[in-house]
Structure formats: C-alpha cells, structure tokens
Amino acid sequence: MGKLNRKQIAWRVAQDIPEGAYVNLGIGAPEMVANFVPETREVVIHSENGLLGMGPTPAPGEENPDLINAGKKPVTLVTGGSISHHTDSFAMIRGGHIDICVLGAFQVSQKGDLANWATLDNSRPPGVGGAMDLAVGAKDVFVITDHCTRDGQPKLLEECSYPLTGTGVVTRIYSDHAVIDIRDNSFIVREIADGISRSELNRITDASLVFSEDCSLMQAPNL
C-alpha cells in the first residue's frame, strides 16, 4: 500500500480515540478525524469557537452557514450537542477538560516539542490560534503530519528549528509513514506503513528511532 494519504491518516487516528473521550480537532487534516470515528463509539468533539458535540461534515446542500468549526468549515452538531461563548470554550481547554487534541505540525522533536504556528519564512504569516492553549491544556496531544516536507526535509527531528508551540507536549505522531509514540525523549515506532522499510524510515527521520517489539503494519482502508 505504501505511505498513507491524509484521509487514511485521519481514519487511523480515529481508531485510537477511546469511548467517552473529549477531543479537539485542529484546523486542516485533523478536522477529517470527525468523519471516521466509529458510529458505535461515543466521542465528544470540541471546537474552540464554542461547539461541544461536533459531528461529521454535512452532506452537500445541507450546510448551515451559522454552524462552522474553528477553521470556518461547515459542520454538524450531534444530538445533545451544545454551543457556548468562546471564552467558556477556552476555559474547557485551559481547565484540563480535553482528553485529546489532534494538531498538525511543521516540526516535532524527539522530546515532544511541537512547532506548528510559524516557520522562518517571512512570506508565510504566522497564526497560532488556539494551538498553544491546546498543546498545554489537553491531556494527550496527537499530531497528524507528513513525515517530510514537500522538498524532502524531515519533520521529525532531534531539535525543532522553528518557534515552539509547546515543549514536551506531543505524545503520539501519525505520519504518512508510521505511528510513533514519544516516550523518554525518544521516537518509539508502533506501526510502519506497508512497503516502507525500517532503514527508509530511519533515513527520512532526523533523529534516532526505536522500533517497539510489537511493531506492526500501519493499515487503513482505501479512501
């Protein structure tokens, strides 16, 4: 199968979200996770702009312009969902009530440092949004990212070179090549995509990798 696409990565993340979890989904690829949470699993999805109980993307033609997520994209609200002022929404984050947040990243270090709001490219205006609050307020931080940049530079590093969103906050990375935990200042590979060798994964990672004893294939349906 080779490396996974964005939808497949989002599907893979959704399988690891436990029953009853309160989850925030960042802007971009993380938003797609809401579409793949198993229907039999009750997960409460939160959005910084005041939604609690966010559902999947609405069907074409059924969008409500007054019902959007923090990325300004149309969403649905599940039965029992609620809408609050954004100050109350951030109180949920800062009060430690979010179990998992799923964020994108420019860089992640083996210590769990996260850089996802600014690069060194002045032509790209920075925008932190609620990422700093989420990075330190959520109990677990999952990252969705391509393993490398478009020009082939590793995004998983010994040390981040971009401005940090949070230090030591990332617990798990879902890249297009692997599922990687961060423990004891190390990248621990739990799953690796079919057709990707361990030597190749090492080559495209700018830090040492430890392969778990039960390291398995990273699998997802065709999406």
Task: Judge whether 86 and 50 are in contact, CB under 8 Å.
Answer: yes
Q: Give the containing element (helix H, strand E) for 175.
A: strand 170-175
Given 31, 39, 42, 48, the catalytic residue: 48
Please indicate whether residue 63 is annotated as part of the active site. Answer: no
Task: Judge whether 142 and 100 are in contact, CB under 8 Å.
Answer: yes
Instruction: Give the pair of three-digit tokens for residue 11.
Output: 């599907």
∠ CA 15-178-158, nearest 5°, is 125
Q: Give the containing element (helix H, strand E) for 12.
A: helix 6-15
Question: Which residues are known catalytic residues?
Answer: 48
